Structure 1
Amino acid sequence: MNMLIIYTYPNHNSLNFAFLQKVLKGSKENDNIKEIQVLDLYEEGFNPLLVFNEQKRRRDMHKDPSIEKYRQQLTWADKIVFIYPIWWGRPPAMLLGYIDQLFASNFAYKDKKGYFPEGLLKGKSVVCVSTMKGPALYPFFWLNNAHKILMKRALFNFVGIKKVKFFEFGNMENPKGNQAKKMEKVYTYFKKVAN
């Protein structure tokens, strides 16, 4: 399988970057993973701002030439891995800007009669590796699981991706946050994952 990793954190001297290294290490030791591409949104200088005017219309985002290479990456990938912190109960604005532009009508989904569209990214799978300062159960109890609902139901299921796995790691700024154990869990998963 082909795997695209979308890394969203502005500092390479960070725990998020360490998780990226564990994902890469496990994936390179996995015979099921044929090729890996890494998209570092900050290093890439990705522009998360949406611009709509007379020349650039929302309904044409699916063919915007400035983001064609990112569409090609998503088309190529069988598994998409997102690595990011959870800030204010949701992914960073940089990642949300990427999602706003790439998961566009007529590329990621197609409108049809009824309430739900036809997802055009069927057959792909997603893994979200996210970190947060607060306790791991904070999003579940305090925010009604908003992060997972946003990512799985409002985004991935909407575009046809049904297989979604989450690693939500809390207490990441705590010296007793079991960071090494959590990184080993991610490494082991990617070393063995089959699809």
Structure 2
Amino acid sequence: MNVLVIYTHPNHQSLNYAFLQKVVEGASENRHIAEIQVLDLYEEGFDPVLVFNEHKRRRDMHADPRLAKYREQLLWAEKIVFIYPIWWGRPPAMLLGYIDQMFASGFAYRDKGGLFPEGLLKGKSVVCLSTMMGPTLYPLFWLNNAHRVLMKRALFRYVGMTNVKFFEFGYMESPEKGKHAAKLDRIYRYFKTVAR
């Protein structure tokens, strides 16, 4: 299994970065995982800004040569892992900009003229690992589960990816209250043993 980890946090001293290290550590010890690639969107200098004008049209985004290497990564990966904080009830703008550009018509899905498109990224599995300051159940009860609906229904199912697992960790501003050590170990153990 090929694993692509998409890391979206500007600080390498952050808890999110510690989770990234545990994902890589566990995956490196997993006999089911052949290769791991990490895409650090901030370190990469990924440009999340969409530009459409007379020279650059939205319908051509799936073939934008500037994004070719990122398309190749997504095609190569069998499991895609997203690591990010939840800010204002949703992923960072950097990650949303990546999604806007990468999950484009003609690459991630094909319009068939009906209610739903044909997903072109079928067979891939997804893990979303997110952290937040408030309680873990805050998005569920206060925001009507908007984060999961956005990621799972509006994005992943739309492009054909139905095997989606969430790790949503709350109270992450406090190592004690948030039980950082236990959660880091949980992530390490998950990626050390996951088979698909």
| Pairwise same-fold verdict (TM > 0.5) | yes
Aligned to 1:130: 130
TM-score by length of 1: 0.99
Q: Deviations over 1:82-101 (max 9, x none)?
A: 00000000000000000000
TM-score by length of 2: 0.99
User: 3-state DSSP class of the match of 1:5?
Assistant: strand
Q: State the identity %.
A: 74
CA RMSD of aligned residues (A): 0.5
1:1-195 to structure 2, matched below 5 A, reads 1-174=1-174, 175-195=176-196
CA–CA distance in structure 2, aligned partners of residues 34 and 170 of structure 1: 32
CA–CA distance in structure 2, aligned partners of residues 54 and 194 of structure 1: 46
User: 3-state DSSP class of the match of 2:173?
Assistant: coil
Letter in 2 for 1:12: H
CA–CA distance in structure 1, aligned partners of residues 82 and 5 of structure 2: 6
- Contiguous gaps of at least 5 residues in structure 1: none
Q: Deviations over 1:28-70 (max 9, x none)?
A: 0000000000000000000000000011000000000001000
CA–CA distance in structure 2, aligned partners of residues 176 and 49 of structure 1: 36
Q: How far off is 1:114 after superposition?
A: 1.3
CA–CA distance in structure 1, aligned partners of residues 113 and 52 of structure 2: 26
Q: Deviations over 1:117-160 (max 9, x none)?
A: 00000000000000000000000000000000000000000000
Letter in 1 for 2:185: E
- Contiguous gaps of at least 5 residues in structure 2: none
Q: How far off is 1:113 after superposition?
A: 2.5
